[in-house]
Amino acid sequence: MDVLVFSGAFLVEQYDLIPLIRKKAEEGVVFRILVGDETSETVKQRAIDEGTPGGLEGRIQLMRRYLADIVGLPGVEVRTHSTILYNSIYRFDDELLANGHAHGALAGQSPVLHLRRTPDGQMWGHYMNSFELVWKNANPETDA
């Protein structure tokens, strides 16, 4: 599973993801989770653009607290990024969700594109290349 978000706290709050990650990691599933660096200027500007100054930073801190319970488990890696995030990306096996970020709107108010990996598909690779670029430049968490 690959996740690229600023916060993504809804994954834990609505879907109780932490116990599932723990269980699946024990079964050998690899998890790569990218969350925003709440101290970065890009996060602060995004919060202002969304009309929630300080709100996004708090949600990221909360998500990092949730993730602290699984950081360091075999197969689980969490990193922080400060990139300008145009899309949140959620990849589960051969399914990928790309949540485009419309300026001035909350991520949950913006449309989601659902892609399936196909042998000749290009869009899947396009989004995964984006994920890999952010992953490569992100900072590993040692104790979220």
Show Cβ contacts of residue 110 under 8 Å, excluding neighbours closer than 6 positions.
99, 100, 101, 102
State the pTM of this model: 0.93
Mean pLDDT of the chain: 93
Q: Which of 63-77, 91-105, 121-135 has the lowest mean pLDDT?
A: 91-105
What's the number of CA atoms in the CB half-sphere (13 Å) around residue 40? 16
Cα–Cα separations (whole angstroms), residue 66 to 7, 11, 63, 126: 11, 10, 5, 30
Q: What is the pLDDT of residue 110?
A: 85
Span 86-108, pLDDT tens digits: 999 999 999 999 999 888 777 77
Q: How many domains does the chain have?
A: 1
Q: Residue 82: what are its φ and ψ, rounded to 5°?
A: -130, 25
Q: Report, as an integer, the average pLDDT of 108-124.
A: 91
Give the domain range for residue 63: 2-140
What's the CA gap between 93 and 52, in Å, rounded?
Answer: 33
Chain centroid offset of residue 131 CA: 9
CATH number at residue 120: 3.30.870
Residue 116 parent element (H or E) = strand 112-116
Q: Report, as an integer, the average pLDDT of 17-41.
A: 97
Strand partners, 140: 79
